[in-house]
Amino acid sequence: MFAKAEATMRRIAMGAKHHMSRAYQQSRAFATKFNSGYEVFKRLHGALAPALKDIAPQAHKATKGVMQGYERTRAEVMGAHESAEKVVHSVKKAMPELGL
């Protein structure tokens, strides 16, 4: 009886691991591509900043604000990512039988 329950729990854990791993991989791929696009925008903004300041100071101010917001958000996401990695490491260490 307990063997059947254990096998069921193992299947549930493996299914959850698979789905979470897949979601993480896809999210990371999206974030990497998004960040690459941001880096291109940042370089372009740096090259056009002097002209943008002269021609459209409001637009320059707005783009700087957007960039600062993105940098803040990226820092928060990376902090959450590092925290999650620590939790996963702790679970792996505490319960190696889960096979994470």
Q: What pLDDT is recorded for position 80? A: 92
The total number of structural domains in the chain stands at: 1
Tokens in use for 91?
Answer: 């679970």
Residue 100 lies inside a defined structural domain of this protein: no
Which has the closest alpha carbon to 75: 44, 33, 35?
A: 35
Q: Using the Cα atoms of residue 84, residue 85, residue 88 and residue 89 in order, give the sign of their dihedral.
A: negative
Residue 32 lies inside a defined structural domain of this protein: yes
Q: What pLDDT is recorded for position 100? A: 63
Q: Give the chain's residues under pLDDT 50.
A: none
Q: What pLDDT is recorded for position 16? A: 85
Tokens in use for 61?
Answer: 């101010």
Residue 64 lies inside a defined structural domain of this protein: yes
Q: Which domain holds residue 80?
A: 2-95
Cβ–Cβ under 8 Å, residues 39 and 70: no
Residue 67 lies inside a defined structural domain of this protein: yes
